[in-house]
Amino acid sequence: MLVTPYQNEPIETFSSQAALSDMQAALRAVRASFDKIYPMVIGGKKVMSRETLRSVNPSSPTQVVGSAAKATREDADAALDAAWSAFGSWSRWKQEDRSRVMLKAAQIMRQRKRELEAWLVYEIGKNFIEASAEVAEMIDFTEYYARQALKHVGALSALNAYPGEENESFYIPLGAGLTIAPWNFPMALMTGMTVGAIVVGNTVVAKPAEDTVVSLAHVFDIFEEAGLPPGVVNYLPGVGREVAAYLVEHPRTRFINFTGSLATGKWINQAAAKVGEGQRWIKRVFLELGGKDAILVDETADLDAAAAAAVQSAFGYQGQKCSACSRLVLVDSVYDAVLERVVERTRKLTVQAADQNPDLGPLCNSAQDAKVREYLAIGKNEGALLVGGKRLEADGYFVEPTVFGDIAPRARVAQEEVFGPVLSAIKVRDFSQGLAVVNDTLYGLTGAVFTRDRARIEQARAEFHVGNLYFNRKCTGALAGVQPFGGFNLSGTDTKTGGPDYLLQFLQMKAVAERF
Ligand code: NAD
Q: 55 to each of 37, 364, 371, 489, how far by Cα in Å?
A: 10, 11, 20, 34
Ligand 1 within 6 A of CB of 288: yes
Nearest to 199 by CA among 152, 256, 244, 155: 152
Nearest to 468 by CA among 487, 452, 451: 487
The conformational region for residue 125 under phi > 0 = left, psi -120 to 50 = alpha, else beta, is left
Atom 42, ligand 1: which residue's CA is nearest?
322
Rounded to 5 degrees, φ, ψ at 256 are -130, 120
Which residues make beta-bridge pairs with 178?
Answer: 205, 256
Cα distance between residue 83 and residue 178, in whole Å = 10
Ligand 1 within 6 A of CB of 495: no
Ligand 1 pocket, mutate which of 138, 261, 466 (most atoms under 8 A from CB)? 261
Strand 60-69 versus strand 52-57 pairing type: antiparallel
Which residues make beta-bridge pairs with 508?
Answer: 172
Is residue 339 within 8 Å of residue 426, measured between CB atoms?
Answer: no
Nearest to 71 by CA among 258, 234, 226, 216: 234
The atom number, within ligand 1, closest to the CA of 267 reads 18
Ligand 1 within 6 A of CB of 293: no
Is residue 313 within 8 Å of residue 475, measured between CB atoms?
Answer: yes
Atom 6, ligand 1: which residue's CA is nearest?
182
Is residue 75 within 8 Å of residue 243, measured between CB atoms?
Answer: yes
CA of 261 to the centre of ligand 1 (A): 4
CA of 287 to the centre of ligand 1 (A): 10
Ligand 1 within 6 A of CB of 237: no
Cα distance between residue 436 and residue 427, in whole Å = 12
Ligand 1 within 6 A of CB of 196: no
Ligand 1 within 6 A of CB of 264: yes
DSSP character at residue 396: S
Strand 384-387 versus strand 325-331 pairing type: unpaired
Ligand 1 pocket, mutate which of 53, 184, 365, 371 (most atoms under 8 A from CB)? 184
Ligand 1 within 6 A of CB of 183: yes
Ligand 1 within 6 A of CB of 245: yes
Ligand 1 within 6 A of CB of 184: yes
Ligand 1 within 6 A of CB of 185: yes
Nearest to 152 by CA among 132, 131, 130, 169: 169
Q: Kind and range of the H or E element at 334?
A: helix 332-347
Is residue 150 within 8 Å of residue 135, measured between CB atoms?
Answer: no
Cα distance between residue 469 and residue 449, in whole Å = 8
Catalytic residues: 288, 322
Atom 10, ligand 1: which residue's CA is nearest?
240
Return per-residue pLDDT of the chain as tens, 516 residues: 767 899 999 999 999 999 999 999 999 999 999 989 999 999 999 999 999 999 999 999 999 999 999 999 999 999 999 999 999 999 999 999 999 999 999 999 999 999 999 999 999 999 999 999 999 999 999 999 999 999 999 888 889 999 999 999 999 999 999 999 999 999 999 999 999 999 999 999 999 999 999 999 999 999 999 999 999 999 999 999 999 999 999 999 999 999 999 999 999 999 999 999 999 999 999 999 999 999 999 999 999 999 999 999 999 999 999 999 999 999 999 999 999 999 999 999 999 999 999 999 999 999 999 999 999 999 999 999 999 999 999 999 999 999 999 999 999 999 999 999 999 999 999 999 999 999 999 999 999 999 999 999 999 999 999 999 999 999 999 999 999 999 999 999 999 999 999 999 999 999 999 999
- Taking only the tens place, the pLDDT of each residue in 1-59 is 767 899 999 999 999 999 999 999 999 999 999 989 999 999 999 999 999 999 999 99
CA of 288 to the centre of ligand 1 (A): 9
Cα distance between residue 316 and residue 413, in whole Å = 18
Cα distance between residue 157 and residue 42, in whole Å = 39
Ligand 1 within 6 A of CB of 240: yes
CA of 365 to the centre of ligand 1 (A): 14
The conformational region for residue 498 under phi > 0 = left, psi -120 to 50 = alpha, else beta, is left
Q: Kind and range of the H or E element at 495?
A: none
- Taking only the tens place, the pLDDT of each residue in 231-247 is 999 999 999 999 999 99
Torsion of CA 341, 342, 344, 345, to 10 degrees: 110
Is residue 426 within 8 Å of residue 435, measured between CB atoms?
Answer: no
CA of 181 to the centre of ligand 1 (A): 6
The atom number, within ligand 1, closest to the CA of 209 reads 9
Atom 39, ligand 1: which residue's CA is nearest?
288
Is residue 156 within 8 Å of residue 169, measured between CB atoms?
Answer: yes
Is residue 321 within 8 Å of residue 363, measured between CB atoms?
Answer: no
Nearest to 189 by CA among 288, 276, 78: 288
Atom 14, ligand 1: which residue's CA is nearest?
240
Is residue 136 within 8 Å of residue 11, measured between CB atoms?
Answer: yes
Strand 325-331 versus strand 422-428 pairing type: parallel
Specify the pTM.
Answer: 0.98
Where in 79-199 does DSSP place strands (E)?
Answer: 165-173, 176-180
